Amino acid sequence: MGRGRTMEWAARANHVGGIPRKAIIFAAGAFARAVANLLNSTTVHNPETLIRLVRSRPPGVPLLTVSNHMSTSVIITSDRLDDPVMWGFKAFPTMDANLARWVLAAEDICFKNRVLSYCFRLGKCIPITRGGGIYQEHMNEALERLSDGAWLHTFPEGKVSQENEPIRRLKWGTASLIARAPITPIVLPIVHHGFQEVMPEKYLFGRRPPFPLFNKKITITVGDPIEFDLPKMSEMAVSMSKDCSSSSSGWPSATRFGLNEAAQKCLYSSISKQIWVVMENLRNLGKTFLKQDD
């Protein structure tokens, strides 16, 4: 928790006049467009909701999108395909650096060296140390972006899952950001299918391909914003936590709602469960769309 922030200066909008960021976002956007629309076919259900919230939500209100995680990394870039290719569909402002999302990215994958760290920082990526806890320093940075009213994307499962199985149990990091943000973000669920075929974990001799595969079908299902009654959920968390023991793990003793550690855990669990239910329903809806498309 005492670690400094990795190359935070490169993530600032005014770094070298914003030119490097625009160049990286443009290049990533062009790559995403090519993979999503030229090399493969992408169908998006309910794209209007996502586009509207990215372009014109109420001033100062942050947007938090959450999705499943199905793609392995591309060897030549060390990045995973879910992001940025899921934003590469037609009509989306893919190459606009001002509208581009911030995203939580695994430190051990995307920030292996100074060159990668610099490039991913320019691409509005926030490094997260897996296993570092929900109160690690870079989670505070993500919270600051939400406080600024920005758009943040997370993969709450915390790891890649390419099996056609229910959404994995969600980690508490995303829930903690929702509860801690001074203005509750608009939480928009997205579930996709097909990235596991574009970048499979085991393709040739048990290894992933060095480049994205082509002629695959990608389906993206955008849900509706999830409503959270945080004051009520906090009251319930306090009541539920009375029967729970609280360990001394260094969590702050007070949050936006003045909850102790045990109550925080109950609240984060409840928020995560609510998101999981919505995402699982979206996954089943996406399976229906896949059958219709076939």
Contact 92, 99 (CB under 8 A): no
Q: Which residues contact 240 (CB under 8 A, 6 or more apart)?
A: 263, 266
Q: Looking at residue 288, what is its pLDDT? A: 82
Average pLDDT over residues 161-166: 76
Q: If 0-12 CB within 10 Å is exposed, 13-18 middle and 19+ buried, where does residue 37 land?
A: middle
Q: Name the average pLDDT for the chain.
A: 89
Contact 250, 185 (CB under 8 A): no
Q: How confident is the model at residue 74 (pLDDT cuts 50, 70, 90)?
A: low
Structure tokens at 67: 């999705």
Check pLDDT > 60 for residue 2. Answer: no
State the pairing for strand pair 102-106/186-193.
unpaired
Tell me how far apart the alpha carbons of residues 73 and 78 are, in angstroms, rounded to a whole number. Answer: 5
pTM of the model: 0.92
List pLDDT tens digits, range 246-261.
665 667 766 678 888 8
Check pLDDT > 80 for residue 164. Answer: no
% residues pLDDT > 70 (the chain): 91
Q: Which letter does DSSP use for residue 17 in this model?
A: G
List pLDDT tens digits, range 208-222.
787 888 999 999 999
Q: Looking at residue 256, what is its pLDDT? A: 77
Tell me how far apart the alpha carbons of residues 113 and 122 are, in angstroms, rounded to a whole number. Answer: 14
Beta strands in the chain (DSSP E): 41-45, 63-67, 102-106, 125-128, 151-154, 186-193, 217-222
CATH 3.40.1130 fits 8-228, yes or no: yes
Q: Within 10 A of 233 (CB to CB), how many other CB atoms are there? A: 17
List pLDDT tens digits, range 75-112.
444 457 889 999 999 999 999 999 999 999 989 888 98
